[in-house]
């Protein structure tokens, strides 16, 4: 969010930043080639070495030729870089949601074990974007909670780039991602986060077996009662699904509903029944027992040890095994 690159819209900001990255890459290429010429001339190696350095050897992550390599065209490289930059923007937004970063202060804000919102407000008394209060952010397929990750991101986007260009900014992000923001958060965000942190994530995903319910927490703000907070969200979500089920059952027997409406209602009813059973099993067998344990974590033990302490309550990370290094 560097101010020197800020433009009225997110797209124009990205283009400004991309131009800077391109200039920086070309300048680095020029300097390396100049160094090569000096070396070649100093040792009389004109017949053995060439000063030219291909772009793919300019080792900057903002250089798509180096970052992605392969046989991709210029257009494909630019598309990939734009997409990855937007996923990084969403990742930064989540960091601000948890208070790890702030729009109002450079560097890390909450990054010590047990840090709280009070500590954040001590550092930043009047933040432009308020972090989540209870360190639990639902990640669901619909607008079930006001502090759902997608809703919070939409607020973040309005705060960072204003209301005037909000729709255009959201469209630019979704065009870059190739999908809508909610679908990205639901299907891709956690996998991207785990990959970015090399299977040592700092945001953890509580998830029922089939993913009907999921919620993110920030490891550094974890407390022994955090699982109980997740459990409250699960129960609230179950109530909302049950209410939806009751409504659809009424539609199914309503004399004023069309046959098409009844058919759609019956189909959704079957889905909801399965989801409610999944949530009941997840609460009974996994989340409630874990909440009663009030599990304490020690960040000095590392992510791998701590992640396994919460067991099947969390989204499984393939390869994260206590027997591994």
How many Å apart are CA 32 and CA 55, to the nearest integer? 11
Does residue 219 sit in the same domain as residue 159? yes
Question: Is 178 among the domain residues?
Answer: yes
Question: Is 256 among the domain residues?
Answer: no
Does residue 295 sit in the same domain as residue 159? yes
Question: Is 94 among the domain residues?
Answer: yes
- In this model, does residue 171 exceed pLDDT 60? yes
Pairing outcome for strands 137-138 and 214-218: antiparallel
Question: Is 3 among the domain residues?
Answer: yes
Contact 205, 214 (CB under 8 A): yes
**How many domains is the chain built from?**
2
Q: What is the mean pLDDT of residues 134-143?
A: 96
Write down which residue in 16, 45, 71 finishes a domain: 71
Write down which residue in 13, 42, 71 finishes a domain: 71
Does residue 17 sit in the same domain as residue 95? no
C-alpha pair distances (Å), 212 with each of 123, 183, 238, 268: 37, 14, 10, 14
pLDDT tier at 32, thresholds 50, 70, 90: very high
* Percent with pLDDT over 70 in the chain: 98
Question: Is 251 among the domain residues?
Answer: no
Question: Is 268 among the domain residues?
Answer: no
Domain span including residue 43: 1-71
Does residue 15 sit in the same domain as residue 122? no
Does residue 99 sit in the same domain as residue 173? yes
* Percent with pLDDT over 90 in the chain: 87
Contact 138, 149 (CB under 8 A): yes
Q: What is the mean pLDDT of residues 167-180?
A: 97
Angle value at C-alpha 278, between 272 and 279, nearest 5 degrees: 90
The model's pLDDT over 60-98, given as tens digits with 9 standing for 90+, comes to 999 999 999 888 999 999 999 999 999 999 999 999 999
More confidently predicted of 237 and 323: 237
Q: What is the mean pLDDT of residues 45-65?
A: 93
Question: Is 78 among the domain residues?
Answer: no
Question: Is 249 among the domain residues?
Answer: no
């Amino acid at each position: 969010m560097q101010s020197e690159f800020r433009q009225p819209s997110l797209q124009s900001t990205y283009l400004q930043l991309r131009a800077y990255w391109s200039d920086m890459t070309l300048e680095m290429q020029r300097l390396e080639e100049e160094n090569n010429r000096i070396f070649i001339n100093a040792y009389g190696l004109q017949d053995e070495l060439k000063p030219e350095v291909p772009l793919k050897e300019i080792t900057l992550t903002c250089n798509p030729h180096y970052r992605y390599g392969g046989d991709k065209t210029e257009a494909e490289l630019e598309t990939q870089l734009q997409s990855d930059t937007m996923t990084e923007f969403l990742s930064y937004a989540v960091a601000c949601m948890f208070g790890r970063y702030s729009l109002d202060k450079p560097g890390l804000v909450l990054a010590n074990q047990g840090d709280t919102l009070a500590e954040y407000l001590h550092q930043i008394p009047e933040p432009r974007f308020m972090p989540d209060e209870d360190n639990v952010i639902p990640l669901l397929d619909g607008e079930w909670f006001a502090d759902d990750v997608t809703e919070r991101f939409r607020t973040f986007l309005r705060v960072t780039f204003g209301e005037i260009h909000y729709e255009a900014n959201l469209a630019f992000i979704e065009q870059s991602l190739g999908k809508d923001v909610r679908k990205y958060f639901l299907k891709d965000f956690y996998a991207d986060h785990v990959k970015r942190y090399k299977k040592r994530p700092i945001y953890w995903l509580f998830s029922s077996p089939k993913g009907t319910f999921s919620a993110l927490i920030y490891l550094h703000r974890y407390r022994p009662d955090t699982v109980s907070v997740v459990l409250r969200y699960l129960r609230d979500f179950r109530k909302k699904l049950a209410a939806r089920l009751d409504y659809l059952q009424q539609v199914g027997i309503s004399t004023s509903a069309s046959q098409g409406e009844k058919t759609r209602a019956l189909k959704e009813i079957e889905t909801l029944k399965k989801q409610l059973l999944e949530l009941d099993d997840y609460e009974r067998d996994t989340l409630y027992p874990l909440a009663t344990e009030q599990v304490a974590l020690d960040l000095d033990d590392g992510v791998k040890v701590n992640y396994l302490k919460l067991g099947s309550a969390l989204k499984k990370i393939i390869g994260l095994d206590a027997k591994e290094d």
